């Protein structure tokens, strides 16, 4: 009786908490913008792995398209090993870039990049970036996918950063819908907060020639660059999930053992066999 | 079954040490076979140990993070990313620390509510309860300052909003106008603010350890309460902490670690805010500034009151009122198992708290349901929050008809077993 009341109270609390959090989740995504469509990623889920061919294509898109305006300050060439490149391939990628150094005479010289270098930024500073982009600042890509990821208690009302990137790339409209007053130099996009974005539609059909021969549709390029940006934001994802699996498997076995240990330790005491009723 | 065991080592080396510094005897009588505990504690009693475990986890991971973190406004954000990308297992240590704060609060919230339900704050455990409230306050300060350190957008703006609260005290003569500048170390949240928050975020956990030791000391004077709320009388009412509760706590800890690990390995950013992946920028205000989830109910109370000063006072009072609980509750019986009306209001209080938490993270003008906005709901919920302590608790505890209480813990155990057959 006593237990059943307690359980009922607890259940009522859990039920109301669930209702609260589900409305909470519905509201969390309520920004007046359409919900980005959920795509399939090899990196998703408990067993998620990096989609190496897609990441390599995404790197190509970044280098040939995005890097003209967007920096990737926190990613070093050496970490491209995650994308499946070997040491020589990484050296070959790094050598394409130039870095300023000060020589022994105090003069500025240039040297080619090495794997330990970071992707150089397209603009020397924020002012230059804004001046070249009609006053808008192209955001750095290093943590951008994570900064656009709005997780909620309900998976279907969560916004995943990769999906947002794909939706944004695909979400341009040549003509703003009727009644929308566009500011000069801005483009209409269904998924951008406020619907007016300073970035011109960056991708066009077949604008790059993929090294692996994949057909470069806008959708394919968006998907690949989203995968690449997701990796840049969370490069330890795969290591994290692989270790998580080991930890969980170990803990399941360990907790089962602890459960039976506890049960055995308590066996007599639980039943009150140690109590002498005459001595109460 | 309770033992009057003293620690009597047979090993001569251990005995030699023990004769000079009885530290092993201290541990033995604190969490070993020398500490006798009521035999009927349920799993809600695990959460004290879980909170203690989380404190140790936070300190250990925090010390390692401090070896790599740089408290500088231009470098802090990148240094956290450096930890996650380049430091060996830095991603793991950072995820444990960031999510560990939430786990610490989950454990402590359940621990506090367990105290509510089973009357753990009542005589003779008032000082034990006070120390608990102090621990909670230190945790809140530490958690807040820790959240500022990554120097993301939410760190910066959260710091700005919370420190600005103190401008409500500008009516105080002489010092009033300068409080906020004094807290900031300047005229804005800036380098001096980050530096002092880092210093204090490193210091306060050790103050916390000190208060936790006092908390455990105070616990050992009367001993633990129990779900029946009656004092342990005979030797059959108690059992030694070890092996019974070490085994039980180990199992509970295992389950809790799995819950913790699910966040660390599979959703490390779920409890955080995406805006904190954007570097702090004093010129760009985030659309909604929300604190970490564990402050949300209090943030809702703050916003529910239109007047700034009264809002701040209400927010602080909502926690400080816990100090008065031993006297607000006048019931002779501790456990709500025998106080049906109190129990009903307790669960209402819990639901109300969750509701306040929900209201704390949405804009105040958002319509929740039936055309009523979040502000109005928050005002009613705040009213109930305080009414629970000031009106409901004093009246109900003194007037309600209670159910019969068992004679002793052992008798209740035998009785329950008889019913089970």
CA distance linking residue B262 with residue B268, whole number of Å: 8
User: Which residues have a Cβ under 8 Å from the Cβ of A189 and sit 6 or more positions away?
Assistant: A168, A171, A172, A173, A195, A196, A197
Given a cut of 90, whether residue A66 has pLDDT beyond it is yes
At the topology level, CATH places domain B35-291+329-339+402-420 in Cytochrome Bc1 Complex; Chain C (1.20.810)
Asked about B342 being catalytic, the answer comes back as: no
What does the pLDDT average to over A62-90? Answer: 95
What chain A holds in terms of domains, given with CATH numbers, is 30-75+118-235 (1.10.760.10)
Residue A178's pLDDT band, with cuts at 50, 70 and 90, is confident
From chain B residues 267-286, the ones with a CB under 8 A of any chain A CB are 267-270, 274-275, 277-278
What does the pLDDT average to over A38-65? Answer: 94
Tens-place pLDDT, residues A191-245: 998 899 999 999 999 899 998 989 999 999 999 999 999 999 999 999 999 999 9
Cα of B236 to nearest chain A Cα, Å: 6
Chain B interface, best mutation among A158, A162, A272, by max B CB count within 10 A: A272
Helices A237-271 and B90-117: crossing angle, nearest 10°?
Answer: 30
Residue whose structure tokens are 């970071």: A118
Residue A3's pLDDT band, with cuts at 50, 70 and 90, is low
What are the helix (H) ranges across chain A?
2-28, 52-64, 87-94, 126-131, 144-147, 161-170, 218-233, 237-271
> Cα A241 from chain centroid?
14
Task: State whether residue B239 sits within 8 Å of chain A by CB.
Answer: yes
Residue A13's pLDDT band, with cuts at 50, 70 and 90, is low
Asked about B199 being catalytic, the answer comes back as: no
Q: Degrees (nearest 5) of the Cα angle A242, A153, B76?
A: 65
CA distance linking residue B131 with residue B208, whole number of Å: 10
Of A24, A261, A280, the CB nearest to B236: A280
What's B152's DSSP letter?
A: B
Tokens found for residue B150: 């990554």
Measured in degrees and rounded to the nearest 5, phi and psi for residue B245 equal: -85, -20
Tokens found for residue B118: 């089973």
- On chain B, the residues whose CB falls within 8 A of the CB of A269 are 1, 39, 239, 244
Asked about B224 being catalytic, the answer comes back as: yes
Residue whose structure tokens are 């408990």: A46
Of B250, B261, B267, the CB nearest to A258: B250
Q: Count CA within 13 A, CB hemisphere, residue B17.
A: 10
Res A27: pLDDT: 47
Of A13, A259, A279, the CB nearest to B251: A259
Catalytic-role residue among B275, B292, B329, B400: B292
CB atoms within 10 A of CB A164: 24
Query: Measured between alpha carbons, how far is residue B276 from residues B24, B103, B281, B360 in Å?
Result: 45, 19, 11, 18
**Cβ contacts from A onto B, under 8 A:** 138
- On chain A, the residues whose CB falls within 8 A of the CB of B269 are 146, 149, 151
Strand partners, B369: B372
CB–CB contact A272 B267 (8 Å): no
CB–CB contact A272 B410 (8 Å): yes
Of B251, B266, B347, the CB nearest to A46: B266
Tens-place pLDDT, residues B107-127: 999 999 999 999 999 989 999
Q: Is the peptide bond before B124 cis (omega within 30 degrees of 0)?
A: yes
Res A1: pLDDT: 46
Average pLDDT, chain B: 92
Asked about B220 being catalytic, the answer comes back as: yes
Tally of residues, chain A? 280
A280 vs A115: which has the higher pLDDT: A115
A10 vs B261: which has the higher pLDDT: B261
Tens-place pLDDT, residues B32-75: 888 889 999 999 999 999 999 999 999 999 999 999 999 999 99
Q: What percent of chain A has pLDDT over 90?
A: 67
Q: Is the peptide bond before B243 cis (omega within 30 degrees of 0)?
A: yes
Q: Are B113 and A106 in contact (CB under 8 A)?
A: no
Strand partners, A100: A110
Q: Environment class of residue A238 by beta-carbon count within 10 Å: exposed (0-12), middle (13-18) or buried (19+)?
A: middle
CA distance linking residue B318 with residue B108, whole number of Å: 17
| pLDDT tens per residue across all 421 residues of chain B | 555 677 888 899 999 999 999 999 998 888 888 888 999 999 999 999 999 999 999 999 999 999 999 999 999 999 999 999 999 999 999 999 999 999 999 999 999 999 999 999 998 999 999 999 999 999 999 999 999 999 999 999 999 999 999 988 888 888 888 899 999 999 999 999 999 999 999 999 999 999 999 999 999 999 999 999 998 887 888 899 989 999 999 999 999 999 999 999 999 999 999 999 999 999 999 988 899 999 999 999 999 999 999 999 999 999 999 999 999 999 999 999 999 999 999 999 999 999 999 999 888 888 887 888 889 999 999 999 999 999 999 999 999 998 988 888 888 888 887 887 6
CA distance linking residue B154 with residue B272, whole number of Å: 10
Please tell me which residue of chain B has the smallest CA distance to A254.
B254
Q: Are A36 and A167 in contact (CB under 8 A)?
A: yes
CA distance linking residue A10 with residue A198, whole number of Å: 51
Name the residue among B306, B321, B29, B290 with its Cα closest to residue B154.
B290
Q: Are B194 and B200 in contact (CB under 8 A)?
A: no
Name the residue among A47, A66, A98 with its Cα closest to residue A240.
A47
Please tell me which residue of chain B has the smallest CA distance to A154.
B270
Residue whose structure tokens are 């500088």: B72
Res A23: pLDDT: 52
- On chain B, the residues whose CB falls within 8 A of the CB of A239 are 91
Query: Measured between alpha carbons, how far is residue B241 from residues B227, B245, B246 in Å?
Result: 16, 5, 6
CA distance linking residue A182 with residue A164, whole number of Å: 22
What's B295's DSSP letter?
A: G
CA distance linking residue B414 with residue A273, whole number of Å: 9
Catalytic-role residue among B120, B224, B335, B342: B224
What's B390's DSSP letter?
A: I
């Amino acid at each position: 009786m006593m237990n059943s009341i307690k359980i009922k109270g607890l259940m009522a609390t859990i039920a109301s908490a669930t209702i609260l959090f589900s409305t909470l989740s519905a509201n969390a995504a309520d920004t007046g913008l359409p919900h980005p469509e959920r795509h399939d990623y090899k990196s998703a889920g408990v067993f998620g792995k990096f989609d190496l061919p897609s990441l390599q294509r995404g790197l190509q898109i970044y280098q040939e398209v995005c890097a003209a305006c967007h920096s990737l300050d926190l990613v070093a060439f050496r970490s491209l090993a995650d994308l499946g490149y070997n040491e020589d391939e990484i050296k070959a990628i790094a050598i394409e870039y130039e870095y300023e150094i000060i020589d022994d005479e105090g003069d500025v010289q240039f040297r080619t990049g090495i794997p330990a270098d970071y992707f150089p930024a397209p603009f020397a500073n924020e002012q230059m970036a804004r001046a070249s982009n009609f006053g808008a600042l192209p955001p750095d890509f290093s943590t951008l996918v994570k900064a656009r990821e709005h997780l909620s208690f309900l998976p279907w009302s969560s916004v995943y950063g990769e999906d947002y990137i794909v939706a944004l790339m695909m979400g341009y409209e040549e003509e703003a819908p009727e009644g929308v007053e566009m500011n000069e130099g801005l483009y209409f996009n269904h998924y951008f907060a406020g619907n007016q974005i300073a970035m011109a539609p960056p991708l066009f059909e077949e604008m790059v020639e993929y090294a692996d021969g994949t057909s470069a549709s806008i959708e394919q390029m968006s998907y690949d660059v989203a995968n690449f940006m997701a990796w840049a934001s969370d490069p330890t994802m795969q290591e994290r999930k692989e270790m998580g699996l080991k930890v969980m498997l170990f803990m399941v076995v360990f907790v089962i053992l602890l459960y039976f240990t506890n049960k055995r330790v308590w066996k007599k005491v639980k039943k009150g066999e140690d109590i002498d009723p005459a001595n109460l | 079954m309770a033992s009057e065991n003293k620690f009597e080592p047979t090993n001569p080396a251990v005995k030699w040490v023990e004769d000079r510094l009885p530290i092993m005897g201290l541990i033995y009588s604190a969490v070993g076979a020398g500490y006798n505990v009521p035999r009927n504690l349920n799993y809600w009693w695990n959460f004290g140990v879980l909170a203690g475990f989380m404190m140790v986890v936070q300190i250990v991971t925090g010390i390692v993070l401090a070896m790599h973190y740089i408290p500088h406004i231009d470098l802090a954000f990148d240094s956290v990313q450096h930890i996650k990308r380049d430091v060996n297992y830095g991603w793991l240590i950072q995820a444990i620390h960031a999510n560990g704060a939430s786990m610490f609060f989950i454990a402590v919230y359940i621990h506090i509510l367990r105290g509510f339900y089973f009357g753990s704050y009542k005589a003779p455990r008032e000082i034990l309860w006070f120390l608990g409230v102090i621990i909670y306050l230190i945790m809140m300060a530490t958690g807040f300052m820790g959240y500022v350190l990554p120097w993301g957008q939410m760190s910066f703006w959260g710091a700005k909003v919370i420190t600005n609260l103190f401008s409500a005290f500008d009516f105080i003569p002489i010092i009033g106008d300068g409080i906020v500048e004094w807290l900031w170390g300047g005229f804005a949240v800036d380098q001096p603010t980050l530096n002092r928050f880092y210093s204090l975020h490193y210091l306060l956990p050790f103050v916390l350890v000190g208060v936790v030791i006092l908390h455990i000391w105070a616990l050992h004077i009367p001993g633990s309460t129990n779900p029946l709320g009656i004092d342990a009388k005979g030797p059959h009412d108690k059992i030694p902490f070890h092996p019974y509760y070490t085994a039980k706590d180990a199992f509970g800890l295992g389950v809790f670690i799995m819950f913790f690990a699910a966040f660390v390995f599979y959703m490390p950013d779920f409890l955080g805010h995406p805006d904190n992946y954007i570097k702090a920028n004093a010129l760009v205000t985030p659309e909604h500034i929300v604190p970490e989830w564990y402050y949300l109910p209090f943030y809702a109370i703050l916003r529910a009151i239109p007047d700034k000063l009264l809002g701040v006072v209400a927010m602080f009072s909502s926690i400080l009122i816990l100090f008065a609980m031993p006297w607000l509750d006048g019931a002779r019986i501790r456990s709500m198992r025998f106080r049906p009306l109190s129990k009903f209001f307790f669960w209402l209080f819990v639901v109300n708290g969750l509701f306040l938490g929900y209201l704390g993270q949405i804009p105040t003008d958002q319509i929740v349901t039936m055309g009523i906005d979040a502000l109005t709901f928050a005002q009613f919920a705040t009213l109930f929050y305080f009414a629970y302590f000031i009106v409901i608790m004093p009246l109900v505890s003194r007037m309600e008809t209670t159910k019969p209480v068992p004679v002793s813990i052992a008798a209740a155990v035998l009785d329950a077993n008889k019913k089970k057959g």
